[in-house]
Amino acid sequence: MNTHKLTKVAINDPVWVRYGLIAVSLATIGLFLLLPLVTIFIEAFAKGWQKYATELSDPNALAAIRLTLLVAFICVPLTTVFGVASAWAIARFEFRGKSLLTTLIDLPFSVSPVTAGLIFVLLFGAQGWFGEWLQDHNIKIIFATTGIVLATLFITCPFVARELIPLMQEMGSEEEEAALSLGANGWTMFWRVTLPNIKWGLLYGVVLCNARAMGEFGAVSVVSGHIQGLTNTLPLHVENTYNEYNAVGAFAAASLLTVLAVVTLVLKSFLEWKQQRT
Amino acid sequence: MSIILNNISKRFGNFAALNNINLEIPEGELVALLGPSGCGKTTLLRIIAGLERPDSGQVLLKGEDKTHKDIRERGIGFVFQHYALFRHMTVFENIAFGLRVKPRKQRPNETEIKKKVHALLELVQLDWLHDRYPDQLSGGQRQRIALARALAVEPEVLLLDEPFGALDASVRKDLRQWLRHLHENLNVTSIFVTHDQEEAMEVASRVVVFNHGNLEQQGSPSEIYDNPVNEFVSRFIGDTNVITLEKHHTDWLQLSGLVIVPEAANSVHIRPHDLEITKSSSDSAATATLKDWQHLGALIRIELAKQGANGSPETLYAEMPNEQFKRLQLSKGDKVECRIRHAHWFDAA
């Protein structure tokens, strides 16, 4: 009844309101989203294909790509396991501190990434709490890949969990109990009943998590030390090259991240569509 | 498989779901756990299944203590209230699931699985649906598939949680009969939970009545209907007129032919069919007025008004066969005399 009324009112809005609103949103998207996106590619190819290819095959750029892939390769599976485990715990069990855990999972979303990076510097840096001990044992975390992985893990850990918790809560545990009553053990139940039911939501979380793991700048910037060819990820490489007045290099690297973003968006809409259908 | 429950108690936080339940279910029975919602009946079913652990007490299956055993080690089949069919599997795969997850040594081969699943589908008369998905089935079909799936692992006990709760009235009636016949054929000990007393009386060979986590009464449907042990059971099973034993009521009861046992109780329950009415010959002998009546098929339910305390009318219900009511030739507002054929006395309010 209510929705019916609402649509009617919306339809009866004067023409100028309707087209006005559409024009405003289109203009905003065009100006702030599409234009910069196009600019990235224009700048990247400003001096031709040749230059673009050279910039990307530069050893430092290649090292940055490799490091970014490595970090994502480590972080995404860990985040996925953490996400499934914590979503399972929250959706299926009653325990003390459950609401605290639910809140804590969201913490990385509310903390500024720079602060997150700083935490790791304060913990593991040369002057940090564990700094001396780490130095004695010759372990390097800050200004090394380990630190970058840790910072990225911190930033990305909510992605899969947040996707799965509401999904699993809504699903309930009856199908899982049914599997157990039919003689399945925990593993079989998970692989044959739980996973098929959450797979699209899980993939969705993984895709978002991957995009963030590859694109994270703030936290990684603090812990990485910007050592060219060693601790630069792609986003850091973009900043470095740009600061060196190498616009084509910066935009070439940025174009890779942009392609990643577009692929993520397409995958995301596909998965959303899939999820709604099941 | 016989089931014995010893002193089962279960609390959820401050809420006592079950208090010291003792229950014995002989092999082959079809038992209804009956009670209003929140009375603990589903919790008890889940404890028997092993989906829930009791705080204290024992669950003996076939004489063996299985209190701390997993649901997988109990040899039970469980049919969930909302069927819990695996939504990403076809009907065939749903039923085959229990066979496919068996340990390798006991696992039947593909031909045997096929044969068994089709036999079960024929048992529930739904073989033509084998390649459908659960969301393409009606409620009644899902229910029967869920049952077939539970039977695939050849359980020694079948547990059903509100098996007809989510179905249309007409489908429910058919399925009740069907379940009864299925039980007669398979003869596997079966327990189902219901809040519908009619369903319990119609389907079960034995009814166990619960209220607020306590076992109130158990027995055959007729035992429970004819001899309710307390006020709750009497009110919950079938319709009844409740009359408290105050002065103006006792007079009326005596006029209606009931011998009052002094001090024995403080309320009396009269089933509508135990209240007989006749057209009053004189106004002075009349004890009630005919207010209205409704047709319940073969029976007529008669609404009577009797004089209550300080002159306010109180409503009573009587039931009699259609034909008999016609012979009385009563119309609205007629004075009638009541005669109580049988009544139950209860102590607590």
Residue A165: its pLDDT value, please? 93
Distance from the A132 Cα atom to the nearest Cα atom in chain B, whole angstroms:
49
pLDDT at A153 (0 to 100) = 93
Which chain A residue is nearest to residue B52, measuring alpha carbons? A177
Phi, psi torsion values for A223, nearest 5 degrees: -90, -15
CB-based contact (8 Å) between A275 and chain B? Answer: no
A182·B153 Cβ contact <8 A: yes
Q: How many CB pairs under 8 A join A and B?
A: 62
User: Residue B257's pLDDT is what?
Assistant: 79
Q: Which range among A4-18, A117-131, B289-303 shows the weakest confidence by mean pLDDT?
A: A4-18
Q: State how far residue A198 is from chain B, nearest Cα, in angstroms.
A: 11
- Please state the rounded mean pLDDT for residues B301-327: 84
Q: Is A123's pLDDT higher than 60?
A: yes
- Which pLDDT belongs to residue B78? 94
A278/B71 Cβ within 8 A: no
pLDDT of residue B262: 63
Contact A178 B78 (CB under 8 A): yes
CB contact B102 to A (< 8 Å) = yes
Chain B: residue whose CA lies nearest to A173:
B84
B256, β-bridge pairs: none
Distance from CA of B14 to the nearest CA of A (A): 15
CA contacts within 13 A on the Cβ side of A47: 13
User: What average pLDDT does range B90-97 have in this prediction?
Assistant: 95
Tell me the pLDDT band of A18, cut-offs 50, 70 and 90.
confident
Distance from CA of B41 to the nearest CA of A (A): 18
Nearest-angstrom CA–CA distance, A99 and A102? 5
- Continuous H helices in B57-168: 91-100, 110-123, 139-151
Residue B62 burial (C-beta neighbours within 10 Å; 0-12, 13-18, 19+): middle
Contact A184 B152 (CB under 8 A): no
Model pLDDT, residue A149 = 93
What's the pLDDT band for A3 if we cut at 50, 70, 90? very low
Do the chains contact at A185 and B72, CB–CB below 8 Å?
yes
Q: Cα distance from A250 to chain B (closest Cα, Å)?
A: 47
Question: pLDDT tens digits, residue range B55-66?
Answer: 999 999 988 898
Contact B101 A182 (CB under 8 A): yes
Helix, strand, coil percentages (3-state) for chain A, rounded to 5, are 80, 0, 20
User: Mean pLDDT across the stretch B234-255?
Assistant: 83
Whole-angstrom distance, CA of residue B194 vs CA of residue B204: 11
What is the CB-side half-sphere exposure of residue B292 using CA atoms within 13 A? Answer: 2
The residue-averaged pLDDT of B82-88 equals 92
In whole angstroms, what is the distance from residue A250 CA to residue B119 CA? 68
The answer to whether B135 contacts chain A (CB < 8 Å) is no
The whole-number pLDDT of residue A265 equals 85
Mean pLDDT of chain A: 88
- Contact flag B76-A278 (C-beta cutoff 8 Å): no
pLDDT of residue A1: 41
- CB contact at 8 A, B186 and A216: no
pLDDT at residue number B245: 79
Answer whether B12 touches A (CB < 8 Å). Answer: no
Dihedral angle computed from the Cα positions of residues A114, A119, A123 and A124, in that order, rounded to the nearest 10 degrees: -20
Q: Residues A57-78: what's their mean pLDDT?
A: 92
Q: B72 — contact with chain A (CB < 8 Å)?
A: yes
Alpha carbon separation from A208 to A150, A157, A160, A214, B126 (Å, rounded):
18, 11, 8, 10, 43
Question: What number of H helices and E strands is found in chain A?
Answer: 17, 0
CB nearest B84 (choices: A177, A184, A196): A177
Rounded to an integer, the average pLDDT of B136-149 is: 92
Average pLDDT over residues B304-316: 77
For residue A199, the chain B residue with the least C-alpha distance is B88
In this prediction, residue A2 has a pLDDT band, given cuts at 50, 70 and 90, of very low
pLDDT at A11 (0 to 100): 64
Q: pLDDT at residue A6 above 60? A: no
pLDDT of B311 strictly over 90: no
Using 50, 70 and 90 to split pLDDT, how confident is the model at A128?
confident
What confidence tens digit (pLDDT) does each residue in A157-214 have? 999 999 999 999 988 889 999 999 999 998 999 999 999 999 888 998 999 999 999 9
Query: Residue A274: its pLDDT value, please?
Result: 80
Nearest CA in chain B to A171: B84
pTM: 0.80
Give the gap in angstroms from C-alpha B8 to the nearest C-alpha of chain A: 21
